[in-house]
A and B are shown apart, each in its own frame.
Chain A
C-alpha cells in the first residue's frame, strides 16, 4: 500500500504535477508512511532521475522547474511531521554567480536542487563580489560557498575568493565549490576549490560528500 502511494508520488513529482503531489503526500501521511520515506522515495528519487535526464537533455527546463515547485509543496506538508533529527538541515550553503556575470538560470537550478535535497540554501543572486560572498558566509555561518560563472572573464573571481579566504585565515571554515558552463574540473582543482560538479544534478552528491569532510582537505569532482 505505502509502496504503491510512494511510486505514484514519485511519478507525479517527475511530471511536476503539484496538485497531485499535494494530494498523494497527504494520502501517504494519512496511511502512516514515514515522513523520511515520503521525502526520499516520493520526492528526492524522482528529482534525481529528473536531474539526470535534464543533464542528458531528454527532459527540459520547464519540467525541472515544475518539479522543484512540487517538491517545495511536498516539503511544506511533510516538514511539521519530521522528528528533530530527520528535519535537520544537511548543511548551509551560500550560492551566487561571480562578479561581472549576471547569468541566473544555471545557478538557480543548482540552488533549487540543493534545497529540495535538504540543504539550507541562501541564494545571494548574480554579480556577487568576493567581499559579499565572504561577508554573507560569515553572517549566516555557512558550511559551503558555491560560486557559479558562465563567463570566462568572471571565473577569475572564484580564484580571488579562495585566495582571500586563505589570506584572511578563513579557508578552513568553508568548503568552496565552483561550477558553470566553462568551468572544468582541472580549473577548479588548480584554484584550490574543495569540489566541482559538472551538472546541477551532480552538485547534490558533491555537497553531501563534502559535508562528511573538513574544508580544504581533499578535492572531489563529480563528472555527472
Chain B
C-alpha cells in the first residue's frame, strides 16, 4: 500500500468519506453517550460505518476518534483509556475499510489556550501525542487533524504526530464567512495562514472541513491554493448550509447537488473531496462518480 501523498503526486483526485456522528445515532447511540467509546463497545457497528463508506467508493475513511483526546474523554471519566479507545477506533476502520486508506480523526480538545491558565501547549502536545501513537498502533495510515479554529492548537497536534509517528498528516480547519464575505475561524485565522502555518509545522495535506457546503469550500480552496500553490488540499464539505425545518436543522443538499460542484472544486485546487455534516454513503458515491467523470480518460 503506497501513501496518500504519492498517490496525489500522480495527479489523481481522491475521494474521502462522509459524516460519522449521525451514522452512530442511526445505529442506536443515545445523547449523553461517549461516541468514541463505541469503538470498543460496539466495534462491529463502527467497522460497519467504515465499510459503508469504503463500499460507496471512498479511497480513504476516517475513524471514530474525533473526541478521543484525554481532554474530551475526561468528560466521561475515560481519560485513562485513551490508548485503548484510539487503537480500537483505528482497528475498526482498518477492518471496515479493506484496502482503502485509514485517516484517523483528531478533533480539538475543547480547551482554549488563549486566556486559559489551566492548559498549556505542552499539555496539548502530550494529549495529541498519546492519541496519535495509539491510532498508528491500531493501523491508521494518516491522522486527520480536523475542525480546528486555533493555529496554535493545530500546530501542537501536527508536531505531536510528526515527531512521534510515521503517519501522514492532514490538517483541516473550519471557517465561517463574515458579513464582508471573508472567511475566518472564530479565533481569527484566515485560510491562507491556516494552510501556510500547517505546512510549515509539518502537515502533508491541508484543507477545510465542516461549517460550509461545497459552494463556499470552492472559495476557501482558492485562497489556500493561492497562498500555497504546491499544497495538497482536502475538503470535507457539509451537505449545504443547514435549513431550519420545524425547529430542526436539516442539511439540504442531495448527493447530486453536492456532486455538481465537484468539477469546480477540483478546478480550484482540491485534491481530496469528501463530506462532513449531513452527508451519507449516497453523497460519497455521487462525489465518486463525479470525480471519475472529471478524470475520465486518465487511467489509474
Contact = CB atoms under 8 A, between A and B. Distances in A.
A92 B132 CA distance: 44
A61 B247 contact: no
Nearest to A126: B75
B299 interface: no
Contacts of A105: 110, 112
Interface stretch (A136-144, A146-154, A208-216): A146-154
Interface stretch (A82-90, A115-123, A184-192): A184-192
A180 to B, nearest CB: 11
B246 A127 contact: no
B115 A99 contact: no
Given A57-B176, A62-B114, A182-B249, A127 B75 contact: yes
Given A104-B110, A127-B75, A62 B31 contact: no
Interface string B176-202: 111110001111100000000000000
Chain A binding surface SS class: loop
Given A62-B115, A100-B31, A152 B187 contact: no
A73 interface: no
A102 B72 contact: yes
B248 interface: yes
Interface string B212-252: 00000000000000000000000000000010101111000
Chain B binding surface SS class: loop
**Most interface-central of A57, A59, A99, A182 (chain B CB within 10 A):** A57
Contacts of A1: none
Contact of A99 (B32, B176, B180, B248): B32
Interface in B124-166: 149
B252 to A, nearest CB: 14
B114 A61 contact: yes
A187 B188 contact: no
Contact of A152 (B115, B186, B248): B248
Interface residues of B, number: 28
B31 A99 contact: yes
Please classify how large the interface on chain A is, using the bins under 10, 10 to 19, 20 to 34, 35 or more: 20 to 34
Interface in B25-39: 25, 30-33
B248 A61 contact: no
A102 B36 CA distance: 14
B31 A153 contact: yes
B244 A186 contact: yes
A223 interface: no
B278 to A, nearest CB: 11
Nearest to B112: A105
A35 B97 CA distance: 65
B187 to A, nearest CB: 5
A127 B248 contact: no
Interface in A148-170: 151-154, 156-157
A40 to B, nearest CB: 25
A171 interface: no
Nearest to A149: B31
A100 B248 contact: no
**Most interface-central of B25, B188, B247, B249 (chain A CB within 10 A):** B247
B72 A57 contact: no
A65 B115 contact: yes
A181 B258 CA distance: 23
A218 interface: no
Interface string A171-205: 00000000000101011101000000000000000
Nearest to A55: B179
Interface of B: 25, 30-33, 72, 75, 110, 112, 114-115, 149, 176-180, 184-188, 242, 244, 246-249
11 contacts: A56-B178, A56-B179, A57-B179, A58-B179, A58-B180, A61-B114, A61-B188, A63-B188, A101-B31, A156-B31, A187-B246
Interface of A: 56-63, 65-66, 69, 99-105, 126-127, 151-154, 156-157, 182, 184, 186-188, 190
Going nearest first, the 4 A-B pairs with the smallest beta carbon separation are: A187-B247, A60-B188, A100-B32, A57-B178
